[in-house]
Amino acid sequence: MNVANYIAITFPSCSANEGFARAAAAAFAAQLDPTLEELGDIKTAVSEAVTNAIVHAYPDTIGKIALKAKILEGDVLELTVRDWGRGIADVEKAREPLFTTGGEERSGMGFTIMESFMDTLRVTSKEGQGTKVVMRRRIAKRGRR
């Protein structure tokens, strides 16, 4: 697929940067003229992916998180959130609703939320090497261009 535009941002896994990642993804997606609902879905999915990296990849330390956003052919927004933390031992198990390794205060719904708000969700991970979450969402044309 041809890439029409892209950004790449790297930031520390501080909880304050979750809001920054949401805002950056929303600002980038705005060029596709999404509805407020679409924009809210995108922001929520990015928030969940970044929060997962902060809480699970680096539970006892500050690490690096990368956010990449691309606009692909057909007005498809692709968002990638990558960390180099602990990794996930069993990705399929981690994607089950209500499963969490983050303690009682975590809902275990992060991947489920991402999947419900985006068209596709792909998660790859290796223990000790980190996790990559790739999400895509087609933004319907609304009288632009």
Q: Tell me: the pLDDT tens digits for 87-123?
A: 988 667 666 655 555 555 544 566 788 888 999 999 9
Q: Which helix (H) or strand (E) holds 17?
A: helix 16-29
Mean pLDDT of the 11-31 span: 97
Residue ranges in the chain assigned as alpha helix (H): 16-29, 36-52, 91-94, 110-117
Q: Give the chain's end-to-end CA distance (angstroms, integer).
A: 21
Residue among 18, 38, 48, 78 flagged as catalytic: 48
Domain 3-138 indexed as CATH 3.30.565.10:
yes
Q: Using the structure block, give the residue that is written with the tokens 């892209």.
A: 6
Question: Residue 49 has which token pair?
Answer: 């992916």
The catalytic position among 106, 115, 136, 138 is 106
pLDDT attached to residue 145: 42
Residue 142: per-residue pLDDT = 74
The catalytically annotated residue of 52, 78, 82, 86 is: 52
Q: How many CB atoms lie within 10 A of CB 30?
A: 11
Mean pLDDT across the chain: 88
- Measured CA to CA, the distance from residue 4 to residue 73 in angstroms comes to 7
Please compute the mean of the pLDDT values over residues 4-9 and round it to a whole number: 94
Maximum separation of any 2 CA atoms in the chain, in Å = 48
48 is annotated as an active-site residue: yes
CA distance 101 to 94: 8
Catalytic-residue membership of 127: no
Give 3-state DSSP helix, strand, coil % of the chain, rounded to 5. Answer: 35, 30, 35
Torsion (CA) 35, 131, 69, 7 in degrees, nearest 10: 150
Whole-model pTM: value is 0.86
Asked if the model's pLDDT at residue 136 lies above 70, the reply is yes
- Confirm whether 17 is a catalytic residue: no
In the chain, % of residues over pLDDT 90: 70
